[in-house]
């Protein structure tokens, strides 16, 4: 999964599954590092017009092309 294959929206309550750890503005876009409650991190590329701050609660969702995932087990 690539960072640009994930959409990131501000969220509250049960819809907020991740917390923003870092926001790196890169001009036309930005890279946001988020983590779930278990500490699993995800890097998301968003439009440079979006702005998130560390501590913001967000809900990432996959928007890329169809994909298949396998359990490591």
For 17-69, how does the pLDDT look when each residue is reduced to its tens digit (9 = 90+)?
999 999 999 989 999 999 999 999 999 999 989 989 999 999 999 898 888 88
**For position 53, which CATH number holds?**
2.40.50.140
Residue 65 forms part of a structural domain: no
In order of 13, 21, 22, 56, 73, the CA distances from 64 in angstroms are 25, 23, 22, 24, 25
Q: Is the backbone of residue 48 left (phi > 0), alpha (psi -120 to 50) or beta?
A: alpha
**Closest to 22 measured CA to CA, from 30, 10, 34, 11:** 34
Supply φ then ψ for residue 14, to 5 degrees.
-65, -20
State the pLDDT confidence band at 12, using cuts at 50, 70 and 90.
confident
Please name the residue ranges forming H helices in 1-73: none
Residue 25 forms part of a structural domain: yes
pTM: 0.83
Residue 45 forms part of a structural domain: yes
Structural domains counted in the chain: 1
Q: Report which DSSP code applies to 38.
A: T
Q: 46 lies in which domain range?
A: 3-60
């Amino acid at each position: 999964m690539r960072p640009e294959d994930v959409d990131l929206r501000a969220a509250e309550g049960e819809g907020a599954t991740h917390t923003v750890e870092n926001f790196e503005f890169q001009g036309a876009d930005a890279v946001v590092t988020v983590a779930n409650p278990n500490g699993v991190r995800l890097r998301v590329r968003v439009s440079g017009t979006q702005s998130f701050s560390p501590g913001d609660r967000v809900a990432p969702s996959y928007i890329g092309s169809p994909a298949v995932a396998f359990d490591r087990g």
